[in-house]
Amino acid sequence: MISAVVLAAGYSSRMGSFKPLLTVGGVPALERLIAGIKEAGIKNIAVVTGYRHELLQPVIRSMSGDGTVIVEAYNAGFDSGMFSSIKTGIARVREVFPDSEGCFLMPVDCPLIDSKVITTLEEAVMCSGDTVRDSFAVPVFEGKKGHPLYVPAGYAEEICSYDGPGGLKGITDKYWDRMLRVPVDSEGCILDMDTPEGYREIEDFLAAGCVRESLERLAKGRRITLVRHGQTQQHDEKMFIGQYDVPLSEEGEMQIELSAGKLVEMGLEPGRIYCSDLSRAVSSAGIIAEKMFADPAEHICPMKGLREIDLGSWDGRPVREIKEQYPEEYSRRGQDMFVFKTGNRSENFYDMQYRAVRALRNILKADSSRDVLIVTHSGVIRALQNNLRGLRVDDSWESIPKGSFVVMEN
C-alpha cells in the first residue's frame, strides 16, 4: 500500500494568490490534485496545511469517502519552509497509515500531475524487485525531473530527524544511486504555478488540450541561425562558468565582427536579434546588430530563457576549489553530467534544454520572419540544435568555436 502526501501549507507569496484554491481548468488546484490521486487508486492521503488551513478543511472533508481516507496534517511551523511540511506529512502518514510502504510527495502548485504519471511511477517501483523499500523514484519528461517524488517508508525516520543542509535534497543526494528516473509522456508533471507566469502557462497548456505545438512545425520553412558569443575575458585558472557574467574580450569582439560580416554576406534578414541576457551574449548581439540595422539597439531582444546552464553555487568558482571542497559531488558530476545538479536552485542539462526549447518555441510563435537569429551559449546551442534535429541534449554533438555560428534550415 502506498500513500500520498499533498503539500499545501505555504504562504503562496511568489504567486500572490492562495494556490490551493486557485482554479485550474475551473477546478481548485487542491481538489484537482486529490482527484488525480484517487483516480490512480491511492486510498490514503495526508494533506499538509498551514497558512489559512481552515479554508482547506471543507475540501478535505468533501473529497473523503468512497473508500478514500484523507487526513489533515497541520504544520504549525509552515513558515520555516517546504522541508518542515514534508516532515509533517511523512510523520502523519506513519501515524495514521502505519502499513504504508511509501508515499508520493505532491506539491499543490503542480496541479497537472495526473493519474497516469502516478501509476507509471508505482509500476516502476513495484517492478524493481524488492527495491520498493529502498528506491526513491521521480518522473522525467524529456529528461527533466518532475513531481511527485516517491519516498520509501524505510527512509521516513531519517527524513523526519534530518536537520542538515539542503532539506530533502540532503537525503536524496546521499542516496543518489537509489533514485529511479522514470520516463513519462505527460508534460504536466514538470509544470508548476509558483508564480503568476507559471499559472498562466498552466492555463494556456490546458486550453491547448495539454499538447505543445510541435517545434518541427513551428520551424518549418525557417532559417534559424545560432551564434555562439565571442571569447570572454580569461581568468588565471579554469573556472565553472554558466550564468556567471563574464564580459567579452577584445579577441571575442573581433571574432563576432568577423561572423557578423559573414552573416550579412549570407543575406540574413531577421526582424530582431534574440540573445541571452548575459553580457557576453548581449555584447555579441550588439556587434552583429551594428552591421545589420540602422537603429541596432531597437532590434536586440535579450531573453533569460536563452542563458547558459545555471551552475548554482559552483558558478564563477575555480574548478580546483570545487574539486577540493566537494570531491564526492565533483566525482558524481563526472559520472553523469547531464543529470547532476549542484544544488536546489541550479539546473542540469535536461532542465536547461527544456528552458531553451521553450524560449525558441516562444520566439517562433511570436516572430513570423523567415530568418531567426539567436546569439547564445554553447550548451543552449547544443540543446536547440539537437532538438531541431529530433535529438536530445545528451545525444552526440560537435561543439562550435566561440564567435562562430551554425545555420539550421527546416
Right CATH for 2-207 from 1.10.10.10, 3.90.550.10, 3.30.300.160, 3.40.50.150 = 3.90.550.10
Q: What is the mean pLDDT of the chain?
A: 91
Rounded-to-integer distance, Cα 152 and Cα 135, Å: 7
144 contacts: CB under 8 Å, gap ≥ 6? 190, 350, 351, 353, 354
- 271 backbone dihedrals φ, ψ, rounded to 5°: -75, -35
Which of these, 392, 20, 383, lies nearest to 406 by C-alpha position? Answer: 383
Answer for the pair 302, 329: CB distance below 8 angstroms, yes or no: no
Residue 105 host element (H or E): strand 102-107
For 193-243, the pLDDT digits (tens) are 989 999 999 998 888 787 777 788 899 999 999 999 999 987 778 999 999
* Residue 399 clears pLDDT 80, i.e. is over it: yes
- The DSSP symbol for 164 reads S
Which is the CATH superfamily of the domain at 215-409?
Phosphoglycerate mutase-like (3.40.50.1240)
Q: What is the pLDDT of residue 319?
A: 94
- The DSSP symbol for 25 reads T
pTM of the model: 0.79
Name beta bridge partners: 388: none
For 118-152, the pLDDT digits (tens) are 999 999 888 766 544 688 999 998 888 999 999 99
Rounded-to-integer distance, Cα 307 and Cα 376, Å: 7
Q: What is the pLDDT of residue 98?
A: 94
Rounded-to-integer distance, Cα 257 and Cα 283, Å: 11
Rounded-to-integer distance, Cα 17 and Cα 29, Å: 12
Cell of 37: 490521486
Rounded-to-integer distance, Cα 302 and Cα 240, Å: 23
Q: What is the pLDDT of residue 129?
A: 61
Instruction: Determine if the peptide bond prior to 148 is cis (ω within 30°).
Output: yes
Could you tell me the residue ranges of all domains in the chain? 2-207, 215-409
Mean pLDDT confidence for 43-48: 96
Q: What is the pLDDT of residue 52?
A: 93
For 59-95, the pLDDT digits (tens) are 999 999 889 999 999 999 999 989 999 999 999 999 9
Cα dist from 312 to 1, 136, 160, 205, 263, whole Å: 38, 24, 26, 29, 34
Q: What is the pLDDT of residue 226?
A: 97
Q: What is the pLDDT of residue 11?
A: 86
Q: How many helices (H) and strands (E) does the chain have?
A: 14, 15
Position 394: which residue type? Answer: D
* Residue of higher predicted confidence among 343 and 169: 169
For 268-298, the pLDDT digits (tens) are 999 999 999 999 999 999 999 999 999 999 9
Q: What is the pLDDT of residue 137?
A: 94
